[in-house]
Amino acid sequence: MSDATAGNLSQAAAEARREDAAQTGPMLAADGRPLKRSLNRALRAQKLRALALIAPLLIFLLVTFVAPILDMLFRSVENQIVSETLPRTVIALDGWDATDLPDDATYAALAHDFKEAAERRIHTRLGSRLNYEATGLSSIFRRSGRGIDGVGEPYADQFAALDPAWEEPATWIALMADPDWISEQADWLEAAQDTPEPAFRLVPGIADVLPETTDAYRSFARTIQTTGRTPESPLTKEPWATVYLALYRDLSGATGADIGAYSGPGATRLQTAADAVAGFETIPLRDAFAEVADGWVQMPVWTTIQTFSDPYTAGYFLAAVDLQLTPQGIEQVEDNQRIYLTLFKRTMVLSLTIMGLCVILGYPIAYLLSNLPMRTSNMLLILVLLPFWTSLLVRTSAWKVLLQQQGVINDLLVWIGLVGDDARLTMINNQTGTVVAMTHILLPFMILPLYSVMKTIPPSYVRAAKSLGATNWTAFWRVYFPQSVPGIGAGCILVFILSIGYYITPEIVGGRTGIFISNRIAFHISDSLNWGLAAALGSILLALVLVLYWLYDKIVGIDNVKLG
Amino acid sequence: MNGEWGLPSDTQDTFVSFDRVQKSYDGETLVVKDLNLDIGKGEFLTMLGPSGSGKTTCLMMLAGFETATHGEILLDSRPINNIPPHKRGIGMVFQNYALFPHMTVAENLSFPLEVRKIGKSEREAKVMRALDMVQMGDFGGRRPAQLSGGQQQRIALARALVFEPELVLMDEPLGALDKQLRETLQFEITKLAHRLGITVVYVTHDQTEALTMSDRVAVFDDGRIQQLDAPDVLYEQPQNSFVAQFIGENNTLTGRVAEMHADMCVVRLDDGELIDAVPVNVSAVGDRTQVSIRPERVEMNKDRLAPDAHTLKAEVLEFIYMGDIYRTRLRVAGHENFVVKTRNAPDQPRLKPGERIEIGWHPQDCRALDA
Ligand SMILES: Nc1ncnc2c1ncn2[C@@H]1O[C@H](COP(=O)(O)OP(=O)(O)O)[C@@H](O)[C@H]1O
Ligand SMILES: [Mg+2]
């Protein structure tokens, strides 16, 4: 072998090695696995352990903080109650032009929906819900729960008069029910009835023959099976009057039913009835509903149902800013009902006032504390914290005792002669009361961050300023104060955010003019039960806080906030 | 010692004068005890002493941030006890720099000029000049946090000088810097001080710094000035054992005065050996004393000593080669920490541990101090 070939060979070998390395690509660990994967594996264990450590808190936060907030956000737009309670009506109203009362088919749909809702006792809930949007609906709904049967009864009576068999449950079962279900149901009735009742099943094909009747009967059967303390069986119960209304409408050709195609049980009876319905005495459904509650033949109830038939609505949010959704679009509510914007504004203004007072009162105290020897300042700090250890209720009530017209402060002022006995100051149950009591309660939240920031400002800065020729005031204002601004920022954020969500204190000392938006939220949560509106108000409050936070970040810079 | 430290006779007028100043923070202990100190115009005076010896307190009294419990402080012959700090016109440099973090470097420097209501253009010119003076001309727009420690200290210095005070106080200004930077800045500060002709009172606990920078050094301990002298005098002629120990490295041996002559005495060490020394604060035969000898003044070559000089037996414990010098630790008269420093020169032996030698010194290098 010549030298040249040997050279070539070794060169080739080197190249091969290089190629080898290039192909393997990633760096390998000692055991030959890619280094990256080994590292990931090592890190994964660490990450899992870290996760396990924070998991309890994470779960706790998810359950108690994130979930409620999401639920609140959802509730503020959720509106499924209308389409769930009146599904047929909502469909029938789709495309209604709202110029005149709806047609018969819509009234029939309402009759079926309403009967089922009344049996399930959920009609009043919907009534309350819609009452938020248009007053008076609640009472219409409540009254209709009792009177809805009146709409169908004339037909039930006439069918019974035609053939008494129509009153028999068995007639209906034979017509409607699946034979298998009938035997299962019979077995169940005979047995101890401790197993779940077999759910009603329709016989195949009947829906084509009698569409509305089938729908109404199924609604009847399912409803009686699932409501009431002791479930009832369709085998032994005469259908609701509204089912007869449906039968009449099917047989009279109003719904496009095809009776001629039917040849099942009771076909002749059905045919007889079909021939007879033309001679039935009829009342327009509109008039029948007028008997139930005259609200049903006026426009508002229908426009309201149509407006709020969507499963999601902006209605709560609009209401939260004193607007309302009408068929004509978004409008302001009447003057005497506008309260929320005022409340939001008041909450903001009073919170800012309280925040400002806290700065004015807290700054000198924090300054004093941070310049005292450690032992003294620690003791005085306990005094600052003392309010934290007293019940909020006690402190607030104490202000009531102090501030009321026959209270300590007024007595003192009268005694000194500063105010006349007949001109005692009103300092409670108004904004003054709220501001005074809340400033007192929130003051520690201002003092603590201020103190902890001031504690970190070395005295040498002020000394340097003075040695450079600054007077006490200049040294404070130009050198000390700018460095305490992060503390002011932190304190302000704390106090302001706590304050706009405050509830107990304004409730106790705020009277009518000193309450905050949170008091209204609480009212809707626990008294009016309008949770949707409460959620919308809460969401707006949350958004306001976030916007203010963002603004603060833009203007002051959030990294300029120091809690210690 | 009851210090009455006046000015050396050849210096200018007194600029600052502490007159029987005492200071107590708690009403129980005196932090500064009877301080009498005159500082001349244009002088660079350093207060040197261990931590807690009252140096900062003296400075703060001078600057006006603490008031003397007793006594008077005169600035340019005027008592300043009742002048508030901002009217004293004293520049100050702090150990933590105390640059205002929310202002730029230029704003920091123009602050003393603004409060003196100096016009904008003049202000800018002065700021620029001061920045150039500390070689920081390009840094006017930066925030203090964007500067290194050494740069911050330069700015602090410039700020203390920009309003042209006659007196500048510096409290351990280089304490937080690394060694090399300290040496550079030490040099720059002294140069600047002399060029501007300002009076500087400088506080440090670093004796090298004190020796290299100052015209005079006041050694503080326990609230008193132990000695106030020029650096060389301080080093070579310590007046008591504290100063001898504190300044530079020092060997001490204990004993009693055996013979007393006018400018010489003989001391009998605790193990019975005799040595020669200069009596400094011993007065009679039988007094207990600590004799003090600098490591570089110990002679290991008997030929260089006077024929009748006393010598001591010594055993080599350790020999450390340090490049420019050798450092040899000996056992002498029962003391194990007796150190000898010799120049690295061809004629100097490199000793081995265990070797026994004889050492001695010229009598004037050895001082018999208080016990
Ligand atoms: N503001 C003060 N209050 C009480 N004692 C102080 C105060 N400042 C200093 N001291 C005490 O005074 C003594 C001297 O302190 P200082 O002057 O700071 O010493 P140095 O600057 O020499 O280290 C120390 O014992 C210190 O504890
Ligand atoms: Mg100090």
Is the residue at B226 inside a domain? yes
User: What is the pLDDT confidence band of residue A9, given thresholds at 50, 70 and 90?
Assistant: very low
Vertex B19, ends B14 and B25: CA angle to 5°?
130
Can you tell me the mean pLDDT for B107-135?
94
Residue with the smallest CA separation from ligand 1 atom 5 is B25
User: What is the pLDDT confidence band of residue A7, given thresholds at 50, 70 and 90?
Assistant: very low
- pLDDT value at B18 more than 60: yes
Query: For residue A28, what pLDDT is reported?
Result: 75
Ligand 2 centroid – CA B52 distance (Å)? 7
- Which range of residues forms the domain containing residue B353? 252-369
Chain A residue with the nearest C-alpha to that of B92? A467
- pLDDT value at A469 more than 80: yes
Q: Give per-residue pLDDT as tens, A357-401.
A: 999 999 999 999 999 988 999 899 898 888 788 888 898 888 888
CA distances A33 to A22, A23, A472, Å, are 16, 14, 69
Ligand 2 centroid – CA B8 distance (Å)? 27
Nearest CB to A468; choose among B64, B65, B112: B112
Q: Give per-residue pLDDT as tens, A175-232.
A: 888 888 888 888 887 876 677 788 888 888 888 888 899 999 999 999 988 887 777 7
Query: For residue A113, what pLDDT is reported?
Result: 93
A514 in helix, strand or coil? coil
Pocket lining: B175 vs ligand 1, CB cutoff 6 Å: no
- pLDDT value at B358 more than 80: yes
> Do B149 and B225 lie in a common domain?
yes
What is the tally of structural domains in chain B? 2
- pLDDT value at B160 more than 90: yes
> Do B298 and B183 lie in a common domain?
no
Pocket lining: B54 vs ligand 1, CB cutoff 6 Å: yes
Q: Which of B218, B241, B264 is the last residue of a domain?
A: B241
- pLDDT value at A265 more than 90: no
> Among A209-213, A322-326, B110-114, B215-219, whose mean pLDDT is lowest?
A322-326
- What is the spatial distance between Cα B138 and Cα B131, in angstroms, rounded to a whole number? 8
- pLDDT value at A19 more than 70: no
- What is the spatial distance between Cα B326 and Cα B351, in angstroms, rounded to a whole number? 9
B366 in helix, strand or coil? coil
> Do B230 and B280 lie in a common domain?
no
> Among A229-243, A289-303, B69-83, whose mean pLDDT is lowest?
A229-243
Average pLDDT, chain A: 87
Query: For residue B159, what pLDDT is reported?
Result: 95
Is the residue at B284 inside a domain? yes
Can you tell me the mean pLDDT for B20-48?
93
Q: Give per-residue pLDDT as tens, B277-305.
A: 999 888 888 889 999 999 999 988 878 88
Query: For residue A563, what pLDDT is reported?
Result: 62
> Do B10 and B97 lie in a common domain?
yes
> Do B140 and B271 lie in a common domain?
no
Instruction: Answer yes or no: do B85 and A479 touch at CB < 8 A.
Output: no
Can you tell me the mean pLDDT for A299-325?
89
User: Side by side, which strands form the sheet with B90-93?
Assistant: B90-93, B167-171, B199-204, B44-48, B216-221, B224-229
Q: Give per-residue pLDDT as tens, B39-57.
A: 999 999 999 999 999 999 9
Q: Which of B241, B270, B287 is the last residue of a domain?
A: B241
Is the residue at B339 inside a domain? yes
Q: What is the complex's ipTM, to 2 decimals?
A: 0.84
Q: Which residues of B touch A482 (CB under 8 A)?
A: 100, 102
Burial class (CB in 10 A: 0-12, 13-18, 19+), B286: exposed
Strands B90-93 and B325-332: unpaired
Query: For residue B5, what pLDDT is reported?
Result: 65
Q: Which of B192, B220, B241 is the last residue of a domain?
A: B241
Percent of chain A with pLDDT over 70: 94
Can you tell me the mean pLDDT for B202-216?
93
CA distances B343 to B211, B270, B340, Å, are 21, 30, 10
Is the residue at B26 inside a domain? yes
- Residues A220, A131 contacting (CB under 8 angstroms): no
Instruction: Answer yes or no: do A468 and B159 touch at CB < 8 A.
Output: yes
Is the residue at B246 inside a domain? no
Ligand 2 centroid – CA B23 distance (Å)? 15
Structure token pair of residue A367: 């300054």
Instruction: Answer yes or no: do B101 and A483 touch at CB < 8 A.
Output: yes
Query: For residue B4, what pLDDT is reported?
Result: 56
Strands (E) located in B29-125: 32-40, 44-48, 70-75, 78-79, 90-93
- pLDDT value at A433 more than 80: yes
- What is the spatial distance between Cα A224 and Cα B10, in angstroms, rounded to a whole number? 121
Ligand 2 centroid – CA B172 distance (Å)? 7
> Among A166-175, B2-11, B179-188, B256-265, whose mean pLDDT is lowest?
B2-11
Pocket lining: B32 vs ligand 1, CB cutoff 6 Å: no
Instruction: Answer yes or no: do A463 and B100 touch at CB < 8 A.
Output: no
How far is A526 from chain B, CA to nearest CA, in Å? 50
pTM of the predicted protein model = 0.76
Query: For residue A17, what pLDDT is reported?
Result: 52
> Do B21 and B169 lie in a common domain?
yes
Vertex B93, ends B89 and B99: CA angle to 5°?
105
CA distances A553 to A124, A485, A494, A556, B299, Å, are 48, 14, 14, 6, 73
Residues with beta carbon < 5 A to ion ligand 2?
B 56
> Do B222 and B107 lie in a common domain?
yes
Can you tell me the mean pLDDT for A304-314?
88
Structure token pair of residue A107: 């009234």
Within a 10 A sphere around the Cβ of B248, how many other Cβ atoms?
17
Can you tell me the mean pLDDT for A471-479?
95
Can you tell me the mean pLDDT for A496-521?
91
Nearest CB to B163; choose among A469, A471, A479: A469
Distance of CA B319 to the CA centre of its chain: 30
> Do B209 and B275 lie in a common domain?
no
Q: Which residues of A touch B92 (CB under 8 A)?
A: 463-464, 467-468
- Region of A482 please: left (phi>0), alpha (psi -120 to 50) or beta: alpha
Average pLDDT, chain B: 90
> Do B213 and B326 lie in a common domain?
no
- pLDDT value at B255 more than 50: yes
Residue with the smallest CA separation from ligand 1 atom 20 is B52
Nearest CB to B115; choose among A463, A464, A474: A474
Vertex B81, ends B79 and B84: CA angle to 5°?
115
> Among A149-158, A274-283, A436-445, B218-227, whose mean pLDDT is lowest?
A274-283
B269 in helix, strand or coil? strand
User: What is the pLDDT confidence band of residue B95, given thresholds at 50, 70 and 90?
Assistant: confident
Pocket lining: B91 vs ligand 1, CB cutoff 6 Å: no
Query: For residue A3, what pLDDT is reported?
Result: 46
**Domain CATH code at residue B126:** 3.40.50.300
Ligand 2 centroid – CA B16 distance (Å)? 20
Q: Which of A471, A468, A545 is nearest to A502 (CA)?
A: A545
Can you tell me the mean pLDDT for B163-188?
91
Size of interface A-B (CB pairs under 8 A): 64
Q: Give per-residue pLDDT as tens, A435-466.
A: 999 999 999 999 999 999 999 999 999 999 99
Can you tell me the mean pLDDT for A45-73?
92
- Residues B45, B218 contacting (CB under 8 angstroms): yes
Query: For residue A263, what pLDDT is reported?
Result: 81
Can you tell me the mean pLDDT for A404-423?
88
Query: For residue A36, what pLDDT is reported?
Result: 84
- pLDDT value at A470 more than 90: yes
Q: Does B96 touch chain A (CB under 8 A)?
A: yes
Q: Which residues of A touch B87 (CB under 8 A)?
A: 469
Maximum CA extent, chain B: 76
> Do B118 and B208 lie in a common domain?
yes
**Domain CATH code at residue B305:** 2.40.50.100
Instruction: Answer yes or no: do A464 and B63 touch at CB < 8 A.
Output: no
> Do B323 and B272 lie in a common domain?
yes
Can you tell me the mean pLDDT for A262-277?
85
Instruction: Answer yes or no: do A458 and B92 touch at CB < 8 A.
Output: no
Q: Give per-residue pLDDT as tens, A133-164.
A: 888 899 999 989 888 888 889 999 999 998 88
Query: For residue A384, what pLDDT is reported?
Result: 86
- What is the spatial distance between Cα A87 and Cα A219, in angstroms, rounded to a whole number? 12
Percent of chain A with pLDDT over 90: 37
Is the residue at B247 inside a domain? no
> Do B191 and B83 lie in a common domain?
yes
How far is A483 from chain B, CA to nearest CA, in Å? 7
Pocket lining: B53 vs ligand 1, CB cutoff 6 Å: yes
B149-161 and B179-196 helices, crossing angle to 10°: 10
